[in-house]
Amino acid sequence: MFLPDLLRGKRILVLCGKGNNGGDGFVVARHLKSKGARPRVLLVGLRAEVKGDAAQALGRWRGKVEEIRDEGDMAVVARALGEAEIVVDALLGTGVTGPARGVVAQVIERLNNSSGRAGLPVVALDLPSGLGSDGGALLGPSVRATVTATFAGLKRSLLVYPAAGLAGRVTVVPIGVPQAGQREPGQATDSPRGSRWITTFRNDPMHAPTRNAPETARMTTPAPPSAVI
């Protein structure tokens, strides 16, 4: 089955934060729509709070954006999760320095509950939201992903447990960044090569491993130690 056929008509929920990881989510939603999927975008926060490159990515997304402002909007999140066939996690990225809090933490917990009960496939962009990038400790509520599409190179938290146990199958997406360098904000998915994260769906996401993964991180693209960023 060709990739466009696999995605066409799929109800894909894209959960976006206000930062650069959310900006990547807006770009992914745009690419998904161009492939015939039916993306639904939820922004945890206000459009006016999205700045910089993420705001530019938001501006290029021509579809609807539903703002999740407070606990009163959790019913919207629950309904969206109930209708989705795949979820893209673009809430928090590598800039996390402490535990997810407030509405973001509540959305993460709702997502994990839904994926655990229904086997809902979850694709995390760069890192499962809530994980730090530098080690294996769990900082707080964190997304349990089926697939993690990480940009440029592996992050240490994708290799070290217990954090690595939440990443599912890990795919490294090359974006033209030197191995020793960091990507520029918002750069991850707005190029043809960046959008290759979607190739993780070539293997049926409905049957991808989640909590029963073995005690080593599952990699679809091996990377040498020098590629860890």
Above 70 in pLDDT, residue 107? yes
The pLDDT tens digits for 160-171 are 999 999 999 999
Above 50 in pLDDT, residue 185? no
Specify the number of domains making up the chain: 1
Give me the pLDDT at residue 119, please. Answer: 85
The pLDDT tens digits for 21-67 are 999 999 999 999 999 999 999 999 999 999 999 999 999 999 999 99
Residue 142 belongs to domain with CATH number: 3.40.50.10260
Q: Which helix (H) or strand (E) holds 34?
A: helix 20-34
Give me the pLDDT at residue 207, please. Answer: 37
Q: Which domain holds residue 197?
A: 3-227
* Packing angle, helices 20-34 and 52-60, rounded to 10: 20
Above 50 in pLDDT, residue 183? no
Model-wide pTM > 0.85: no
Above 50 in pLDDT, residue 105? yes
Give me the pLDDT at residue 7, please. Answer: 84
Above 50 in pLDDT, residue 217? no
Give me the pLDDT at residue 210, please. Answer: 33
Q: How are beta strands 169-173 and 86-90 bridged, if at all?
A: unpaired
User: pLDDT exceeding 70 applies to what percent of the chain?
Assistant: 75
Return all residues near 92 (Cβ < 8 A) that are at least 6 apart: 17, 19, 21, 100, 104, 127, 129, 130
Above 60 in pLDDT, residue 2? no
Among 168, 164, 129, 150, smallest CA distance to 227 is for: 150
Nearest 5°: phi and psi at 16? -115, 140
Give me the pLDDT at residue 218, please. Answer: 40
Beta strands in 45-189 (DSSP E): 65-68, 86-90, 122-125, 147-151, 169-173
Q: Helix (H, G, I), strand (E, B), or coil: what is residue 88?
A: strand
